[in-house]
Structure 1
Amino acid sequence: MTPSARLQAAIDILADLDARRRPAAEALKDWGAHHRFAGSGDRAAIAGLVYDALRRQASATWLLDAATPRAVMLGTLRLARGLDAEAIARLFDGSAHAPAPLTESERERLATASLEGAPAWVAGDYPEWLDGRLAAAFGDARIEEARALAARAPLDLRVNRLRTGRAAARAALAHLHAADTPWSPDGLRILVPAEGKSPAVQAEPAFLKGQIEIQDEGSQLAALLTGAKAGEQVLDLCAGGGGKTLALAALMANRGQVFAFDADSRRLAPIFARLERASTRNVQVRAPRGKQDVLAELAGHMDLVVVDAPCTGTGTWRRNPDAKWRLRPGAVEQRVKEQAELLDQAVRYVKPGGRIAYVTCSVLPEENEGQIRRFIAATPGWRAVAPESVAATLAKSAAATAGDDAASANGAATFAEAVRCSDVGLTMTPLRTGTDGFFLSLMTRKD
């Protein structure tokens, strides 16, 4: 396909998303199924255009003063791809399978319009109704924070300590230009250009041998900052596909026990193959069984309960830019209700002196600090560990695994300065830490 034909395909997919309000991945899959002539490079390029357009939807609409899929794509080429009006006009040439030529109005907007004077939600590319919530989180920095959430995300990998070390894994992936992540002592990062395909990591020998897993550095850090130790009893109460479960088991060196549970047994389906591939031996999967209480025997015995709570996912907009436009105000209230219920359930399993690690991939205060303050006020005997102390866990872990990663151990010491600390937890964001947005609070039981 020509670059112009790819653009028209991307515009058609954006129109489908407008009409059917479904996930972008689903629309892209359908388009590929009905256009078998498109090669893998074409599909990757079209997906890149669609996701970039979703990242810059509000600002592109402002720039072109129109909300059509065509206008959004034009604005995206100008704002995200850095093309000028003449370069865009050469792509919109009206030839076979190409978009129609630019109108005089479009050409003028591309040449002269800017985001000067645009409101915060336009400049930051997020839904207008979220402006107050993001202002509560970031104040005047919300535009800069939101722009970082609208950028393209790298491909992050976690090296499985049970199978190999970071240096060996990095060498095995040298052909993909894998480099160390700045914070996680187990992380590797691969940068994918706008026009490039993501590498087929799951076909790599290192992946097939269980030496690496795909996991954002922020998610890796969230698992590490729980402070899980070898020999402990740990309950992962919202295990899902097992990303953090696997990371916890590796941190614990296969010693002790991790119980992986999720209220939706379908979400647990991928965990079994992942555990086998990773050579993980200290994980028990507990799936729901009707009305049976499959966790009853764990009550009062856990050193650590991890609540990786369901949330709005605002911290993952780099990877799921369509999700921010499908999010509705009612979803925030629903998630807050579910999170409160999970925290209240978690108390049942913690032994005296134990702890709860509460994690979200959200940057909204209601789901994060507000949730923890509510819990502490309503639950006697619990307190939040100082976020600075939690952050120090990273430096200790990096130092313990340093070896040839001494630079990581030194760099981790500045992590507490990079994250946003409140009285009850810490927040990672793309702007501050180069990760997805994550919140973590570690709470201890005093009685």
Structure 2
Amino acid sequence: MSFLRVQFFAFLIFFSFGAKHLSSQQTLYQLIVASGGAFSDPTDFVSVAAYSPQNQSTSFIGEIKTQAVQDVLINDGKMYITATDSLVVFDLETNQRISSVAISGARYATAYNDLLFVSIQYPQSSNFLKVFDKNTLIQTVSISEISGEAAAMVVHENKLYVAVPGDWTSTIGKIAVLNATDGTFIEEIDLSTSGAGIHDVFIYNNKILSVNRSPWGGTSGTLTLFDPVTKLISHYMFPYHIGKGIGIHNHQLYLSINNGIGTIDLESWQVSDDELVSDPGSSSFIYFADIVLDTLNSQLFATTTDYFSMGEGLIFDLNGAQTGSFEAGISAEALALDYRAISSVNEIGYSNLNVFPNPATTTIHFANNSDETFETIKFFDAHGQLVKFIGRELTKNSVDVSELGTGIYFIVVTTEESDVMLTKFIKQ
């Protein structure tokens, strides 16, 4: 449901039950789509776009002059994009590129407080994790103790857990543990051969859950559960080709199974559905490039590509039915969900605000029984669209509404004391 519709339905609640205060809740504002371009074309650079679920449109944000993209991290109003040999930062409000730094082998990014952690892969042969000040991109630490190429990361109770698959010849998997507050190395946990292919890590029941990807052509894969307190390691093997770990929702792990999308029940450790979404066409060299789980709206966003000539964005509900699509470039291997806080309505007293005359044709006046000073006034039409805004230029409690079309309008008034009052009027 879009932000505007949420506000509109909030108004309906208001007129059923009285005036309200506004409180914060989350909505999916946009989906960031980063595409690496055609592998065969060295001039087809990384492109970054945003898909709006509200109006179902895609807008271009910017270009990064390198090939292949690994990850998009959204944090504190910025998006951090790792793309082969660089880390680039965009402002989410303005879509402007604000900073960048060269990082050979940049893979995944995770933030904690003011630190930004970037895992490193080939062509680097050492220092497989770098730590930056996330505001300045000044490197603060380079971790030499990690034994091989690093992948995804997760923070739990002030510790950073890093998947360490090593290079393509590695036959064991490891988890590196660091102090997330300062980036100091603590230890590396050996998961043995059952942890080979470790790539994606999640928090589940205060334990670290890893998805260990099957080797090319492999017909089985494993999940590993590591207890940070007891150090107990448990492995669960499944007779399927295991790929990307997508996310966890209602005790179900969503992940790539046999090149499609499936689920594993984390309470029974049984496969719930081995083909929730079918393989998009791997026999014709079309694969899922990336998949993200939108737990707020119970849906999956996925991109498919052949890495040379096509890219497509698809939306599925959690039953596996396709519900929509969006634009995606070739090799769109990095998706990120941009959740924003919106306003919802909580009940307070009713008699604080009235307008007259009502209906009105040219001017309305506010009768404010609370004697609070107005800070802003917003007018919304019956569809929830913001059609008029008045800020500090308001000099008296009257507003010219002659330019508005006929119909019902809803008014949100914010006071200098940060109270919010609502009312409505009819424009003739």
Q: TM-score, normalised by structure 2?
A: 0.25
Q: Which structure has greater strand proportion?
A: 2
- Max Rg structure: 2
